[in-house]
Structure 1
Amino acid sequence: MATTKSIQKDTYIDHKGRRIRRMTFEQRAELRRNFTASLPLWRHPLIGYLLSILLVGLFGWGQQALDGWIGGGGIYFAGSLLLLPVLFIATFWGTMPSLFTVLLGALYIDYFFIGYNQGISWQHWEDGLRILPFFISGITIAIITAQRERARWQTLIAEQELKEYAAELEVSNQKLEDANQTKDRFLSIASHELKTPITTIRGQAQLALRRLAKQDGEMNVSDMHTALERINEQTVRLTTLIEELLDVSSLRTGKTALNKRKLNINELCQQVVDDQKLLTGRHIELKLPPKEVMVSVDRDRIEQVLINLVGNAVKYSPEGSVVQICVERKWRKALIHVRDHGKGIAPDQLEKVFDTFYRTPDAEASTKKGLGLGLSISKEIIERHEGRIWCESQLGQGSEFFVELPLK
């Protein structure tokens, strides 16, 4: 019964139904090198070749002594004792040294048992047959040794493939665990963030209804205006949360098409900064290069990234501090810096800040609300523009985010 079933050139399914990736030629060569290096020094093939010369001479001399002792030429199987070196070498040094030993033994028999008395030339084919039993027996031992080595080698390959399979399973399990934790974190954050505006909307709507019921036809415009403003604010917040969730899904599945067109990134940054100044009242500095920096991008998506970065810088820095934005042109890239003077981000959190639903401990502890989607969405947008985004930060000295876009 076959133990494996081939399904692709680079993978197969073993008898337990596991899909295992076949080793490449380079991996097999590396495995062979490691196996050879793990052998003790005395089992090096060169030692086997040298020892075979000594053993053939020793056992050949013993064969000659035995042959002479029992009457000289009485033993038809001239190489009977010489099979012992072949077997010994094959056991500890493998196929090639054992074949070398067979060759030495055949030469020894030819010279000392056949050619010694007949001038090193076979005058009778019967004398030539005296070497065949030894040669056939030696080759048989070598073949058996080769089969044993092949079986051992296949076992090593199977063990290595299983180790790689186990490593792949561990990585897959870790990814599943991370995905499960992300799901739990999303459910926890989303339930909290979505519950707040819904509760406010419901409360304000009920308050407005009660006030209308008490007015007996007369309506207090100021109170109604306040209630409707609160409902509108929370509705906008709720809509923003839903749009962020939809953005993450659509960007990652590639369903959102980018509407790229050529624009001056200086003008876009200036517009975003002006809008943020009006909305927040904060001091925001913008440094632009003297020349235009033209890029081919989706204006709305890049504006979304800039608003998110500048908004975060404003949100997580002290009220009186300045937020700095700088645009540079470096080689064939447009580089945008957004720097704040807040608490900074710990080194072990710099990579995580771009993960979906991740918020730093300081952000979690603050009163600032959010799902932890802004930077994740920004990263997806920049990478789809063939650019990159990263962060540099020092605790107590603020953070600086970089956006790099190709010039086209």
Structure 2
Amino acid sequence: MVTLSTDQNLDPGKLSANGRRMLALKEEVLAEWTKRLRQTVKEAERLAQPILINTFPALYDNLAQAISPGYPRVTANEGNTVASEHGSERARLTNYNAYSVISEYQQLRWTIFDVLKLNGIELDESEVFVVHTSIDGSIRESVNGFALAQAALRQRFIAALTHDLRNPLSNAHAYAQLIERTTDPLKTKEFARKILDSLNQMDGMIQELLDSAALHSGERPRLHLEEFDLQEVIKEVCDQLTAEHGCRFQFMGNTVTVWWDRSAIRRALENMVGNALKYGTPDTPIRVNIALVIERTILSVHNEGEPIPPDEMESIFHVFIRAEAAKEGNKEGWGIGLPYVRSVAESHGGSVTVDSAAARGTTFIMDMPQDARPFQDAPILGEAWHVEAARSARS
């Protein structure tokens, strides 16, 4: 029964003999295609099966219709958006590039021919032509959908960047105008400090932009390792935020001396604490904890509030992607902070994890060697591996 074709035809009797034979071999074809794809396309190697298979069953059923003379479908991609939507999903949900998209269609083409031949089914010239034309057309539409989705993601990021930079720029401009109008030295000094704060905020945003470009291209952060007391960094970050958000921060743990990149760790901690402030329940405590366990230092930030949905626990670590709570709540941000935290942790030879549930709250945990010097050249896995590993674990 043809239930996955895009016209939802339920009558296999309308198909030709080869169309019905082809349909009967669908599971065998897709299983063989999956095996070949994982072996030949690196980006597909660890993808969970539901993500990998995507819209290909519908395309396959459409092919069975298209090779059937008299059926009102000229090619598998004619009159539907299956291929373009497939390309869009590959851009949004995987680490595919355009070559990966093309390769999986090419693999499908030859897998169909090989499996049909293995089962003694020979297609005539017109049927072979339909298969080739359908696959070629699907490639064009899918690559176009892939490119459009990537362009949309970039445009969304640029819009967020423009919006976020406008606020501190407007603040600096307003305080500059106030300086022009006042003759009070104390007020002038206060307004100048406000301008510097706004400029520093803009500088931080621009630095995040540069970091995001590096993260998106798979580059690792450049580390400048030094020995310092981690408790001092925590105190600096919490003191700075207490002035704005009140006495919500609780520190737990003892002094721990580490060999880490002080500046990178501070920014990572600011991102984790900032996340707790954005998404945690207002006026509830935010706990920052450090612990030393067998020459590894564990730095964690905990907040109460709505949990992160299980299907978003991996995506929040992807560049330019934010959780639904952020989108629905109109939270500011570009989706760069947590990917940066992960990159810093991995560059120090460690990792970052998240634990979130309604009864437990949300905790982000950086777990790294106390002395990162032996590990500063360790490779980072990058976003693609984490996407695929998480989906494989859930499948």
TM-score interval for Structure 1 and Structure 2 normalised by the shorter chain:
0.5 to 0.7
Correspondence for 2:150 among 179, 182, 195? 179
- Cα gap change, 1:157/1:307 in structure 2, threshold over 3 Å: closer, same or farther? farther
Cα displacement string for residues 143-189 of structure 1 (whole angstroms, at most 9, x for unaligned residues): xxxxxx7x979x979958984x7777676555433322221211221
Q: Partner residue of 1:341?
A: 304
CA distance in 2, matches of 1:343, 1:389: 20
Correspondence for 2:251 among 285, 289, 298? 285
Normalised by the length of structure 1, the TM-score is: 0.51
Deviates more, 1:274-283 or 1:183-192: 274-283
Q: Partner residue of 2:33?
A: none
Correspondence for 1:198 among 169, 191, 196? 169
How far is 1:378 from its partner?
Answer: 2.0
Structure 2 gap segments, 5+ residues each: 1-39, 42-97, 375-395
CA distance in 2, matches of 1:186, 1:22: 29
Which structure exhibits the higher relative contact order, with contacts defined as CA atoms closer than 8 Å and separated by 6 or more residues?
Answer: 2
How far is 1:365 from its partner?
Answer: 5.7
SS in 2 for 1:273: helix
Q: Partner residue of 1:242?
A: 206
CA distance in 2, matches of 1:329, 1:169: 54
Amino acid at match of 1:301: A
Amino acid at match of 1:228: A
**Contact 1:284/1:324 (8 A) holds in 2:** yes
Q: Partner residue of 2:233?
A: 272
**Contact 2:353/2:364 (8 A) holds in 1:** yes
Q: Partner residue of 2:26?
A: none
**Contact 1:204/1:228 (8 A) holds in 2:** yes
CA distance in 2, matches of 1:182, 1:357: 8
Cα displacement string for residues 342-397 of structure 1 (whole angstroms, at most 9, x for unaligned residues): 22222333222223233334335658643332112223333444543342322475
CA distance in 1, matches of 2:316, 2:323: 7
Q: Partner residue of 1:208?
A: 179
How far is 1:245 from its partner?
Answer: 0.9
Cα displacement string for residues 31-61 of structure 1 (whole angstroms, at most 9, x for unaligned residues): 645654576xxxxxxxxxxxxxxxxxxxxxx
How far is 1:334 from its partner?
Answer: 5.5
How far is 1:338 from its partner?
Answer: 2.7
CA distance in 2, matches of 1:168, 1:196: 43
Amino acid at match of 1:286: M
Structure 2 residue 259 is the aligned partner of structure 1 residue 309? no
Q: Partner residue of 2:337?
A: 374
CA distance in 1, matches of 2:339, 2:224: 21
SS in 2 for 1:389: strand
Amino acid at match of 1:243: Q
**Contact 2:220/2:347 (8 A) holds in 1:** no
**Contact 1:339/1:401 (8 A) holds in 2:** yes
SS in 1 for 2:300: strand
* Structure with larger Rg: 1
CA distance in 2, matches of 1:178, 1:22: 18
**Contact 2:216/2:319 (8 A) holds in 1:** no
Aligned pairs (5 A) from 1:212-231: 212=182, 219-231=183-195
Q: Partner residue of 1:258?
A: 222
Cα displacement string for residues 269-324 of structure 1 (whole angstroms, at most 9, x for unaligned residues): x2332223322233323346x9x7977x5443234223321332244333232414
Amino acid at match of 1:183: R
CA distance in 1, matches of 2:301, 2:264: 17
- Cα gap change, 1:230/1:302 in structure 2, threshold over 3 Å: closer, same or farther? closer
**Contact 2:233/2:266 (8 A) holds in 1:** yes
CA distance in 1, matches of 2:104, 2:270: 49
SS in 1 for 2:248: coil
**Contact 2:308/2:362 (8 A) holds in 1:** yes
- Cα gap change, 1:370/1:208 in structure 2, threshold over 3 Å: closer, same or farther? same
Identity %: 23
Cα displacement string for residues 178-222 of structure 1 (whole angstroms, at most 9, x for unaligned residues): 32222121122112111112222222222332x25xxxxxx2234
Cα displacement string for residues 36-88 of structure 1 (whole angstroms, at most 9, x for unaligned residues): 4576xxxxxxxxxxxxxxxxxxxxxxxxxxxxxxxxxxxxxxxxxxxxxxxxx
Q: How many pairs align?
A: 267
Q: Partner residue of 2:23?
A: none
Q: Partner residue of 1:47?
A: none
CA root-mean-square deviation = 4.6
- Cα gap change, 1:365/1:259 in structure 2, threshold over 3 Å: closer, same or farther? same
CA distance in 1, matches of 2:349, 2:227: 16
